[in-house]
């Protein structure tokens, strides 16, 4: 999807069409406000255009813009998949809708679940977005190959009590030889230089030293904090776009105060499992979040480093 009112969207969207060889029937051009959030009425108009344009073969959406990333207190990706939830905005710390896509086996979410998960092709500028897309394309079928050097998945516990809530969900440390992934569970705030990083998850308002991480194409990373999904402006917390700027290929963050419900953030083991089984970045991230209404998914959605076809 391309917003014709946004030069970034036009440039990045057309680049993505070429990079992923999309057919004209797979592209929708709309005209939206270039603002952080849509109003419910503006969102209704967008949803109607999507329903009119795309038939049952279209299972997911790539949104070629940075803004809008929200609809009221909902993320735009959550609202597009699950419908806009106005009631959540009266108390954003409440539990939100359960996603039927959470840890699901289906590879056709629209066919089987009547929902289209979405991901923003978002970066700091168009050049960075094009580099993001290139990383996604380069990632395809690149990992889990026999004889290849292992990549590393870091799960980092911190002393930040509220933001460390999902550390109880971290997988056990150790080498997964069939996948070629070295799972590391650590307790630290500091980032030492590291290479061949596939995944990094932690709980902090801000993660310093991202330039010390050597990412592989297709790497995913996120930090559990309240406003990581506010992609523009200064919330006082690190944006998910900082992961993308440092070289990650996909990330996730919430756009309104979620409180420390672990269901509103990616489940570490579910994310890793689906990615290693060949899911794309969009599939693995979406399947890892039980309550995604407030969370925005960003990155190159089709990156699939462990896919064999």
3-state secondary structure 79-138: HHHHCCCHHHHHCCCCCCCCCCCCCCCCCCHHHHHCCCCEEECCCCCHHHHHHHHHHHHH
Residue 258 belongs to some domain of the structure: yes
Q: Band of the pLDDT at 182, cuts 50, 70, 90?
A: very high
pTM: 0.97
Query: Does residue 197 lie within any of the structural domains?
Result: no
In a domain, 112, yes or no: yes
Q: Note whether residue 106 is domain-resident.
A: yes
Is the pLDDT at 216 greater than 70? The verdict is: yes
Section 125-153 average pLDDT: 96
Which residue segment(s) compose the domain that 296 sits in?
A: 1-146+226-309
Q: How many domains does the chain have?
A: 1
Residue pLDDT, tens place only, 224-282: 999 999 999 999 999 999 999 999 999 999 999 999 899 999 999 999 999 999 999 99
- Say if 167 falls within a structural domain: no
Indicate whether 188 pLDDT > 80: no
- Find the helix or strand (DSSP H, E) in which 191 lies: none
More confident residue, 161 or 203: 203
Say if 55 falls within a structural domain. yes
Residue 187 to residue 21: CA distance in whole angstroms: 43
Residue 4 resides in a domain: yes
Pairing of strands 74-75, 70-71: antiparallel
Torsion of CA 28, 241, 283, 16, to 10 degrees: 40
Q: Average pLDDT of the chain?
A: 96
Please answer whether residues 175 and 272 qualify as being in contact, where contact means their C-beta atoms are separated by less than 8 angstroms: no
270 in any annotated domain: yes
pLDDT at residue 189, as a whole number: 61
């Amino acid at each position: 999807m391309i917003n014709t009112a946004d030069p970034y969207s036009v440039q990045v969207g057309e680049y993505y069409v070429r990079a992923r060889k999309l057919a004209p029937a797979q592209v929708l051009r709309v005209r939206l406000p270039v603002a952080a959030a849509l109003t419910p009425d503006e969102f209704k108009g967008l949803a109607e255009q999507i329903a009119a344009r795309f038939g049952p073969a279209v299972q997911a959406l790539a949104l070629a813009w940075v803004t809008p990333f929200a609809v009221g207190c909902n993320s735009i990706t959550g609202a597009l998949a699950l419908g806009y939830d106005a009631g959540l905005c009266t108390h954003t710390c409440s539990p939100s809708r359960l996603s039927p896509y959470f840890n699901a086996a289906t590879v056709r979410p629209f066919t089987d679940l009547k929902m289209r998960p979405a991901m923003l092709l978002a970066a700091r500028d168009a050049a960075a977005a094009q580099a993001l897309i290139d990383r996604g394309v380069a990632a395809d079928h690149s990992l889990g190959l026999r004889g290849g050097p292992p990549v590393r998945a870091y799960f980092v516990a911190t002393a930040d009590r509220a933001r460390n809530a999902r550390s109880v969900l971290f997988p056990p440390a150790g080498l997964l030889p069939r996948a070629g992934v070295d799972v590391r569970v650590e307790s630290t705030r500091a980032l030492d230089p590291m290479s061949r990083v596939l995944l990094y998850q932690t709980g902090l308002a801000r993660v310093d030293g991202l330039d010390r991480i050597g990412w592989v194409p297709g790497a995913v990373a996120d930090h559990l904090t309240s406003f990581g999904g506010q992609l523009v402006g200064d919330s006082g917390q690190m944006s998910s776009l900082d992961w993308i700027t440092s070289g990650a290929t996909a990330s996730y963050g919430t756009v309104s105060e979620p409180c420390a419900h672990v269901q509103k953030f990616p489940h570490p083991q579910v994310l890793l499992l689906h990615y290693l089984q060949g899911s794309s970045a969009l599939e693995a991230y979406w399947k890892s979040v039980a309550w995604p209404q407030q969370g925005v998914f960003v990155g190159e959605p089709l990156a699939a480093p462990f896919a064999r076809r």
